[in-house]
Structure 1
Amino acid sequence: MAADKSVVKEASMLKQKEMIARNYDAITSKHETGRKVSSTFVPGNLNELFMTFGILNNLPEINAIQNGMKKISGGHIMEAEKSGHSEDVCTYVKADIGMMSKGNIAPNGKPFPAPDMLMLCYTGCYTFMKWFELLREEYKCPTIMLHVPYEGDGRVTSNMRDYVIKQLKEVVIPGMEQVSGVKFDIDRLREYMRASAKAEDDLVWCLKSAKNKPSPIDSYFGGVYYIGPIFTAFRGTQDAVDYYKMLRQEIQGRIDRKEGFVTPDGTVLTDQKYRLVVEGPPNWTHFREFWQMFVDEGAVVVASSYTKVGGVYDYGFRHDPDNPLESLADYVIGVYSNLNLPTRVDMLAEYIEEYEADGLLINSIKSCNSFSAGQLMMMKEVERRTGKPGAFIETDLVDPRYFSAANVKNRLESYFQMIEQKRRGGGSKAA
C-alpha cells in the first residue's frame, strides 16, 4: 500500500460536499425563498421532472444515511420504537420518524420544513408505501403515487411503459402543476435530460474503470459517493455534469499512474489481493470501520448491486431528451430494486466474469426485506454458474445494534481464506 498523506479529499469529493450543503440550505430556507419542496425516494426518483416545475427534492432515506454516518440514527430509531414501531421495521423508516419527533433537524442544523408534496414512485419496496402513509398523516400534504409495474419477466413491455406514461400525463404532471403553480414545459424537461445523459455517460465510464488492475476505484464503498449526485437531487443539473467530468479525470489519473483506489484514511490501495462483487446495501453507522476491514485484507469491490438502485446505467439506459416521458417510464421500471431475482442473478454472475472477480459477497440487511429476500438462493446460483465462492455477512442499514465488528471481521477472514483455497485448487488467480 502506497501511503500518501497529502491525499485527504479529492476535488470531486469537495465539490459533492458543497453541492449537498447547498441543496440542504435551499430546502431549509423554503419559507424565505418561496420554493416548493417534495419528499421522494432514490429508486426511480423523477429529479428532472421536479426541476421542470422548480420543486426541490428531499429524500428521506438519504437523511437517514446522513444521520447513520454521523452516528445519531440509533437514538432516532429508539425514539420510533418507543412510539410503537416494531424492531423488524425498516430502520430507514424508524430513523426518519424518530428524527421528526426530535425536531426534524437537517444536516445543516436547521429544521426541515414540511413538504408541499409527497411523490412516491413505487419500485419494488412495499415499505415505501407504508412510510409515505405515515408522512401523509404527519404533514397533511398532497400525495402523488406513480405505480410502477414489477419487471416480473425480466423486461419492460410496451404495455408497462404505456401504463406509466398514462399516469405521468394524467396524475403526476397535473399534480406537480397544481402544487408548484408552474405550467409543464416539455422542452425544459428535455434540457435537463440532456444533462442527465452526459453525466450518466461519465458515471458508467467511472464504474467500468474497475476492470483495470489495479482497480482505480472501489465500486461499493467508494461507489456510494460516486452515485450520490446522480441518484439524488442533482441528476439533470450542470453541477452533476461537472462533478462526473471531474471524477472521470481523477480516475483516469490513477489509471495512468497505475494506482489503486483512495482509502478512507487518504492512502492509495494499489496492492490488491482480492477482487469482489458485492450484493446488498452497506452498513452506514460503521461505514469507515466496515470499509477498513476490506482495505486491511487488500480487498477491492469491483462491482456492486447497490450502486444500481437508482439506475442500471451500465446496461445501456440513458435519459433520452427526444422521448422524455417514455424515458422516465423506462427509468422507473428498470432500477435494480424493481428487477426480478433471475435478472439480478444474471447481473451478478456477469459482473464476476466481466470484472474478473474472485467471488460474490452478500451483505444481508436485517431490516430490508426488499434486498434480503432470496439472497441465499442468488448466492448459490452465482456460485454454480461461475465456479467462484460466495459468502454471507449480516448487518443493518442505520441501526448500530446490528453491526458486530468481530462477527463481520471473522466472516470476511474466513471468506478470504476460502478464496485462497480455491486458488490453490486451480480456481481464480490473484490479480
Structure 2
Amino acid sequence: MRSPNVKAQPQDVVKDASMIKQKEMMASHYERLTGAPQTGAKVASTFVPGNLNELIMCFDLVNNLPEVNAIQSGLRKQSGGYIMEAERAGHSEDVCTYVKSDIGMMMKGNIGPNGKQLPNPDVLLLSYTGCFTFLKWFELLREQYKCPTIFLQTPYMADGKITKNMIDYMVKQFKEDVIPTLEEVSGVKFDIDRLREYLAKSAKAEDDLVHVLQSAKNKPSPIDAYFGGIYYIGPIFGAFRGTDDAIDYYRFLREEVDARVAAGKGPVTPDGDMGEEKYRLVVEGPPNYTSFRQFWKMFYDEGATVVASSYTKVGGTYDFGFRHDPSKPLESLAEYCLGVYTNRSLPMRIDMLVNYINEYEADGLLINSIKSCNSFSAGQLLIMREVEKRTGKPAAFIETDLVDPRYFSAANVKNRLESYFQMVEQKRSGKGVAA
C-alpha cells in the first residue's frame, strides 16, 4: 500500500493513515448494522447531536444514524437520485436534504453504503437538541416502521447556562421513560456500572480529540479542522464513543498529528501535503458533501486552512471543557445533550466563533450557508456582522447545500472565495474592507 503522504495521481485521493483507519472503522460498523437480522441484534435509530451511544450500548443495541447515512449517500453521489425520489413522493424542495435523501433511500430499498440493506429499527430514540427538523423526520420514520419511539426533551440554552433544574428534568426522563423503554425493547436490564465504564472510555477519547483539534493553534496548522475534521469526528460522534476502538483511534490520531507538528507540516489534502499556509479561517456551517473533494480543493489551492469550525461541534463541545463523567452518569448524559452546538443560542454561537478567531489567530470567518438547513442558517447574517464587529476580522458568505447536488455551483463558490481572500489581503494591508 502506498504511504499515505505520497503525492497522488489526479484521480487518486491521498489520506492520512488515521483517515484510512477511520474509514475501516465505519465500514466495520455498517457490516455490523446490516448484519443485525442475521445476528439477532436489535437496532436503535438516533441522531448525532446529543446521541446517547453509551446508554444505547448498555442494552446491546446497534446504533443507526440516519443523517450519517445521508452523508454517505452524498459522498457516493447517490443522494441526488434519492432526493428526487422523495420530491416525486410529495416532499417539498425546502425540506432538509438529509431527510429527503434518507426517505428516498428507503423508497429505493434502503441500501446502505456497503451495498447491503439496512435493517428496520426496533426503536427510534430522539434526544432533541434544538433541530426541529429531527422531530418531523422521526414522525415520518415512525409512520414507516411502526416501532416504539422515545423522545428525550433537552431544554434550550436560551440564557447560555445549564441549571440544576434542566439536569433534573432530563434525569427524570431517563429514569421514567428512556431507560424503561430501552429495557423493554432490548430485553436487557439496565446496569449503571456498565454505563459508568463506557463513560470513562468516552472521556479518555475526548481528551485526545481535544488535543487534536487544538493542535490547529500551531503555525502551520497540522490539520484542517473542517474538511479533515469530518474524518476526525466520525467515530466519536457516531457509533464508537465509549468503546476501546475509539480510545485506540484517537490515541493513534493524536500521535499522527503530533508528528506533523514536530515536522512543521500542514494538513494532508486529497492531493497530498498542503503547501504554504496563507490563510487561517474559522468556518461556520456544515460542508457540502456531494462535491466534497472539489469544495476542499478550492480552499487548499489558495493556501487556506480551516483552523476551527462550528460544524465539528454538533456532536459535542469538548474543547470548551465538557467530558462525560462516570461519577454522575445520567447527569453527565444530560449535560452533554444540553451543550451540543445545535442547542446553543445565537449569542453562545457568536461567543464561540469569536473565541476561535482570537485563540487560533484566524484571518476571519467564512459562513457556508446551507439552503435546506434552518438549524444552522437561521441567524447567520447576524452572526457574521457581530463577529466582524467584535474581532475586526472580515467575514463572508458562500452558499451550498448538504447533499443536494443541484445547489452546488462551483463557479459561484470559487468566485466568492476569491473575493473573500482579496478582502483578507486588503485588511492585512491596512486598506480595510468595503462595507
- Which TM bucket (shorter chain)? over 0.9
Q: Does 1:312 align with 2:317?
A: yes
**CA distance in 1: counterparts of 2:423 and 2:324, whole angstroms:** 42
- Secondary structure of 1:216's counterpart equals coil
Aligned twin of 1:263: 269
**CA distance in 2: counterparts of 1:103 and 1:218, whole angstroms:** 36
Q: What is the TM-score normalised by the length of structure 2? A: 0.96
What's the offset of the Cα at 1:426? 7.2
**Structure 1 unaligned blocks of 5 or more:** none
Q: What is the TM-score normalised by the length of structure 1? A: 0.97
- Secondary structure of 2:282's counterpart equals strand
What's the offset of the Cα at 1:29? 1.2
Q: Does 1:404 align with 2:406?
A: no
Q: Does 1:241 align with 2:243?
A: no
The one of 350, 356, 371 aligned to 1:366: 371
Aligned runs of 1:162-201 on 2, under 5 Å? 162-201=168-207
**CA distance in 2: counterparts of 1:309 and 1:8, whole angstroms:** 26
Please give the per-residue CA displacement for 1:297-343, whole angstroms capped at 9, x wherever unaligned.
00000000001000000000000011100000000111000000000
The one of 277, 281, 286 aligned to 2:286: 281
**CA distance in 2: counterparts of 1:378 and 1:20, whole angstroms:** 34
**CA distance in 2: counterparts of 1:297 and 1:382, whole angstroms:** 23
What's the offset of the Cα at 1:264? 1.3
Please give the per-residue CA displacement for 1:70-101, whole angstroms capped at 9, x wherever unaligned.
11100000000000000000000000000000
**CA distance in 2: counterparts of 1:9 and 1:392, whole angstroms:** 29
**CA distance in 1: counterparts of 2:432 and 2:322, whole angstroms:** 34
- Secondary structure of 1:233's counterpart equals coil
- Secondary structure of 1:227's counterpart equals helix
Aligned twin of 2:7: 5
Please give the per-residue CA displacement for 1:375-405, whole angstroms capped at 9, x wherever unaligned.
0000000000000000001000000000000
**Structure 2 unaligned blocks of 5 or more:** none
Aligned twin of 1:156: 162
What's the offset of the Cα at 1:427? 7.5
Aligned twin of 1:95: 101
Asked whether the equivalents of residues 277 and 304 of structure 2 are also in contact (C-alpha less than 8 Å), the reply is: yes
What's the offset of the Cα at 1:268? 1.1
The one of 125, 128, 138 aligned to 1:132: 138
What's the offset of the Cα at 1:270? 4.2
**CA distance in 2: counterparts of 1:14 and 1:352, whole angstroms:** 30
**CA distance in 2: counterparts of 1:426 and 1:80, whole angstroms:** 49
Amino acid at match of 1:239: D
**CA distance in 1: counterparts of 2:208 and 2:275, whole angstroms:** 23
Asked whether the equivalents of residues 37 and 57 of structure 1 are also in contact (C-alpha less than 8 Å), the reply is: yes
- Secondary structure of 2:366's counterpart equals strand
Off by >4 Å, runs of 4+ in structure 1:
none
Matched pairs, number: 425
Asked whether the equivalents of residues 125 and 149 of structure 2 are also in contact (C-alpha less than 8 Å), the reply is: yes
Amino acid at match of 1:238: D
Amino-acid identity (%): 72
What's the offset of the Cα at 1:10? 2.5
Asked whether the equivalents of residues 388 and 427 of structure 1 are also in contact (C-alpha less than 8 Å), the reply is: no
Aligned twin of 1:323: 328
Aligned twin of 1:213: 219
Amino acid at match of 2:26: I
Amino acid at match of 1:30: A
**CA distance in 1: counterparts of 2:30 and 2:219, whole angstroms:** 38
Q: Does 1:418 align with 2:426?
A: no
The one of 59, 62, 69 aligned to 1:63: 69
Asked whether the equivalents of residues 14 and 269 of structure 2 are also in contact (C-alpha less than 8 Å), the reply is: no
